[in-house]
Amino acid sequence: MTVVIEPPRGWLTVSWRELWEYRDLFLTLAMRHIQLRYRQTVLGGAWAILQPAVAALVFTLVFKDMVGPTHGVPYLVFAYSGTLAWLLLATSVGEAATSMVANTQLITKVYFPRLLVPVSVFGFTLLDFGFGFVILAVLMLWFGLAPSTLVVLLPLVVAGIVLCALGVSVFLSALTVKYRDFKFVVPFLLQIWFFMSPVVYPLTALPPWVQRVLVFNPMTGWMGAFRHCLYGTPVSPREVVIAASLTIALVVGSLAYFRQVEVGFADII
């Protein structure tokens, strides 16, 4: 019996059935990411809490008196929630961008849907986000902040952030296979993206013309929606619609590019 493996036809052919058939490999890769992240560490999973907590404390000391009103939300909570949402995206993108190169031995020896490699990173980043969110809930209780009635929509906003990270991650992971320079470029790009996103400052603290530009950053809408669902800070529906539209475009475009170039990964990696 001869089995012939051919690349998919079409500009955007994602075989969901094939991905489902390789679900055990996805779980294995996701568990390996978790084990490697905390192997031989003293604090283990506590780093998922310490990283956003320490960052929020530093931002509070440095930016609290500079960013202006935060719509009645204590700045520590404001900074922590923004940092938590940002780290979900930044950690996912940073890890996934080099995931194909990091799994060279696996990619060159056996066939499996290559898309599983960057996607498997989201296993531990979502786990970290879950741990960090517990501390956010404690902070809200400490400061007497009642959750917004729209908190039930928070999973949709988190899904939007994850999809945004996925779109960027898949595209960068494919680029890094051919252009290894991107493993140095990605941290720099994430740094710029951080300061162009309302993570530690409200969008209203910026001049109107800057707001009009930053609205085309998808994390502007998702960050506003994240805080709006948590404690009711204002967000423009237009910002959320633009964020959702850009996220869909990112995901579709990155999947199309990935599927076009993945056939040559084993040869050039």
Mean pLDDT in residue range 136-148: 90
- Tell me: the pLDDT tens digits for 167-217? 999 999 888 888 777 778 888 999 999 999 999 999 888 899 999 999 999
89 closest CA partner among 127, 133, 125, 49: 125
The two tokens of residue 103 are: 């799994």
Give the list of residues 6+ apart from residue 68 with CB closer than 8 angstroms, or none: 201, 202, 204, 205
Is the pLDDT assigned to residue 2 strictly greater than 60? no
Contact (Cβ atoms closer than 8 angstroms) between residue 77 and residue 174: no
Q: Tell me, what's the pLDDT at 11? A: 46
Cα 200 versus chain centre, distance: 17
Q: What percentage of residues in the chain have a pLDDT greater than 90? A: 43
- Tell me: the pLDDT tens digits for 21-62? 777 877 888 787 777 766 656 555 677 788 888 888 998 888
Nearest-angstrom CA–CA distance, 5 and 114: 13
164 closest CA partner among 98, 102, 216, 236: 216
Query: Quick one: pLDDT band at residue 265, thresholds 50, 70, 90?
Result: low
Nearest-angstrom CA–CA distance, 174 and 188: 18
Query: Quick one: pLDDT band at residue 268, thresholds 50, 70, 90?
Result: low
Query: Quick one: pLDDT band at residue 142, thresholds 50, 70, 90?
Result: very high
Q: Tell me, what's the pLDDT at 133? A: 93
Is the pLDDT assigned to residue 7 strictly greater than 90? no
In this structure, of 115-119, 216-220, 222-226, 265-269, the range with the lowest mean pLDDT score is: 265-269
Q: Tell me, what's the pLDDT at 8? A: 53
In this structure, of 4-18, 19-33, 112-126, 171-185, the range with the lowest mean pLDDT score is: 4-18
Nearest-angstrom CA–CA distance, 201 and 181: 31
Q: Residue with structure tokens 């990411």?
A: 33
Q: Tell me, what's the pLDDT at 177? A: 82
pLDDT, the chain, mean: 85
Is the pLDDT assigned to residue 104 strictly greater than 70? yes
Q: Tell me, what's the pLDDT at 147? A: 87
Nearest-angstrom CA–CA distance, 16 and 8: 12
Is the pLDDT assigned to residue 15 strictly greater than 90? no
